[in-house]
Amino acid sequence: MHDQNEDIISYFKKLDRSFFMETHKEFAHMDEPIPIGYEQTISQPSLVLSMTLALHLQPEAKVLEIGTGSGFQTALLAAFSDAVYTIERIEPLYDRAKERLGKAGFANIHFKLDDGSIGWTEHAPYDRIMVTAAAGEIPSELIDQLAFDGKMIIPVGTSFLQELLLIEKEDDGKIHTKVLDDVRFVPLKGKYE
């Protein structure tokens, strides 16, 4: 059977992280989160990869991403799914990510400048949801917007430490939650801060 993980890993290895950065490009090769301004960071590469693999993307999947940031994670999601709906609340980050991903040739990414903590109802349900900022609790709106047989990755906890959760919705609507890791993300602003 064809192993999609291998394709994702090989695409990821070729993805130039410095393309997604305006400053500190000399640190792009480091496996660390790096500041991108506005108190935000481009995520740690190994975490971007492991979160993407844990989502089990499908070529026909519709994906919601909360926290576009630099667009680094968005690129990986868009390369292995049908469409990505991504929301960022900080305008300069939104503008730059949109321009960058357009330049990179992605035509399947839909951008929104807004508070994404309550999702994007207009295009729901989503087969996959990736949240790249830390919530104090699981946003019920995102559970509602997750499709049956859908999967969501979200860091949940305090502002200092969170558990990275994999949330799965079965085809009868039952929810299963699994802890994947301990992580530290910037806060998800809004209702679930």
Catalytic residue among 10, 18, 43, 50: 43
Q: Report the site for ligand SAM in 2-21 (rule: CB under 6 A).
A: none
Q: Tell the smallest beta-carbon distance from residue 178 to ligand SAM (Å).
A: 21
Q: Report the site for ligand SAM in 159-188 (rule: CB under 6 A).
A: 185-186, 188
Binding status of residue 79 toward ligand SAM by CB under 6 A: no
Neighbouring-strand partners of residue 84 = 63, 109
Contact with ligand SAM (CB under 6 A) among 12, 49, 61, 69: 69
Say if CB 70 and CB 36 are below 8 A apart.
yes
Among candidate residues 88, 91, 89, 90, the one with its CA nearest the CA of residue 109 = 88
Say if CB 109 and CB 63 are below 8 A apart.
no
Contact with ligand SAM (CB under 6 A) among 52, 132, 145, 162: 132
First to last CA, the chain: 42
Determine the Cα–Cα distance for residues 101 and 106; give it in Å rounded to an integer. Answer: 6
Looking at the Cβ atoms of 88 and 127, the one nearer to ligand SAM is 88
Q: Tell the smallest beta-carbon distance from residue 127 to ligand SAM (Å).
A: 19
Number of H helices, E strands in the chain: 5, 9
Annotated active-site residue 43? The verdict is yes
Looking at the Cβ atoms of 154 and 188, the one nearer to ligand SAM is 188
Among candidate residues 171, 88, 85, 163, the one with its CA nearest the CA of residue 129 = 85
Contact with ligand SAM (CB under 6 A) among 133, 146, 153, 164: 133
* H/E run at residue 129: strand 126-131
Point out the residues that are catalytic.
43
Q: Which residues bind ligand SAM (CB under 6 A)?
A: 40-43, 48, 66-67, 69-70, 72-73, 87-90, 93, 115-117, 132-133, 185-186, 188-190
